[in-house]
Amino acid sequence: MASAAEQLAANLNFGAFSKATDLKKRIWFTLGALLVYRLGTYIPMPGINPDALARAFQQQSTGILGLFNMFAGGAVGRMAIFALGIMPYISASIIIQLMTSVVPSLETLKKEGEQGRKIINQYTRYGTVLLAVVQAYFIAVGLETSQNLVTDPGLFFRLSTVITLTGGTMFLMWLGEQITSRGIGNGISLIIFAGIVANLPTAVAHLLDLGRTGALSTAVILIVIVAAIACIAFIVFFERAQRRLLIQYPKRQVGNRMFQGDTSHLPLKLNTSGVIPPIFASSLLLLPVTLANFGNTANLPGWATAIVASLGHGQPLYMLLYAAMIGFFAFFYTAVVFNPKDTADNLKKHGGFIPGIRPGERTAEHIDYVLTRITVIGAIYLIIICLLPEFLISALGVPFYLGGTSLLIVVSVTMDTVAQVQGHLLAHQYEGLVRKAKLRGGRRGVR
C-alpha cells in the first residue's frame, strides 16, 4: 500500500490535467461562477448618485466600510447589487455554530448526522435572509440621510434597496454552494478570495505609483515586498502546522485470526480558528470610527473625540485592543468549533485511546490541555501576521488591501484549493492504476 501511494505521489504532475476531464470541468465551472460574481460587483443599485457616492466613500475607506469593501470585491464602494457580499451568510453560520453549543435541541441535531446537518443549514439560510434584510434596510436609511447620495429618497427606495441587496446575498450564497458541490474548493471562501484578489492589482499599482511620485522611496517599496513574501511564507508554515496525538486501537479477533492493533493520529491544527479572529476583531474596532465619521464629530464630547482618534490605524490603543481581541476570539472560536469531550467520546466508542491516558473524561482533559497550549501559539501567530502589516499601513501609507487579514485569507484559500486539486488528481490516477491492474488480470485469465 505504501509503495502504491509513493508511486501515485511521484506520478502526480500537471500533465495529468489533460486526462482528468472531470477535474477540468470543475475548474471551468468554478472560474465561470467567479466571473459571474465579479460582473455582479459592477451592476449598480438603482437610485444612487455615483459621483456623490465616490466622494462619501473616500472619506470612509479606512473604516469598517473599507474592510467590507475588501471582502465584497469593491462592490460597497460602487454600491452594487452584491454590496452586502457573503458576510450575512458567514455571520449567520457563526451565530448558528454558537447556538449549537448553547441550545440543546440544536446540539442534538448536530449529532444526528446528514439529516441534522441539512436542518442546521436550512436554519443558517433563514438567518442569512434575516440579517441581510436588516443590514440592507439600515444601509438604505444611511444612504438617505447622507447628502445627495440618493436621487429619489422614500419608501420605494428603501424597499428596492432591501430587495436588491438581500437578493444579491442570497444569489451569492447559492453560487457558493454550487461551487462547493460542482466546482473546486469551498465556494464561500473562494468568493471572498476572488473579491480580495481582484483588488490586489489596484493596491500594488497604487504602491508603485507612490514610488514613482516620490512619496515612497525604492528602499521602502522593497521592504514592503520582502515583508509580504515573508508573511506569506510564515502563513504557509503555520497553517500547515499540526500537533498529532498518537491514537492506538486494541487487538481484535475475527474468527480464529488475531489482528494486531492499529495506530493512527489525531491532528490538531495550530490555528483551529482560521481567519475568524482578525475579521471579528477588526470589524468591532472599526465600527466606532465609522459611526463617528458618519455623524458630526464636532458635536462629540472631548473624551469621545480622543477615543475615536486613538482607534485609528496604527495608533497604540488600536494595536493593543486589536491584539487582545484577536487572542480572545482565537480561544473563543476554537472552543466553539472543537469539542474535546465529543472527540474523546468518539474515540472511546471506536475503541481508540491515547497511550498512558484513560479513555473518556481523562482523554478529553488531555486533548483540551494540548489544544489550549497550541492555541496560545496560534493566537500569537495571528497577532504577528495582522499587526505587522498594520505598522506598515500606518507608518508608510501602504494600501489597505495589503493588510494581514487579506493575506491570511488569500494564502489559506489557495492552499485549500490546491489540496483539493491534488486530491482529485490523486483519485484520478489511482482509478487509472486500478483499471490497468484489472486489464492485466483479465489478460492473464484469458491466457
Domain boundaries, the chain: 24-216, 219-396
Q: How far apart are CA 146 and CA 246, in angstroms?
A: 60
CATH code linked to domain 219-396: 1.10.3370.10
The answer to whether 404 and 386 are in contact (CB under 8 A) is yes
Residue 403 confidence (pLDDT): 66
CATH code linked to domain 24-216: 1.10.3370.10
24-216 with 219-396: one CATH topology? yes
Pick from 181, 209, 163: nearest CA to 45:
163
Q: What angle, 0 to 180 degrees and rounded to 10, lies between the N-to-C axes of helices 404-446 and 187-213?
A: 130
Per-residue model confidence as pLDDT tens digits over 381-425: 999 888 877 777 666 666 555 567 788 888 888 888 888 888 877
- For residue 204, with 0-12 CB atoms within 10 Å meaning exposed, 13-18 middle and 19 or more buried, which class applies? middle
Pick from 277, 286, 383: nearest CA to 337:
277
The pTM (predicted TM-score) of the whole model is 0.78
Residue 314 confidence (pLDDT): 65
Residue 20 is classified by DSSP as: -
Residue 410 confidence (pLDDT): 86
Residues of the chain below pLDDT 50:
1-12, 446
Residue 69 confidence (pLDDT): 72
Residue 388 C-alpha cell reads as: 505587522
- For residue 213, with 0-12 CB atoms within 10 Å meaning exposed, 13-18 middle and 19 or more buried, which class applies? exposed
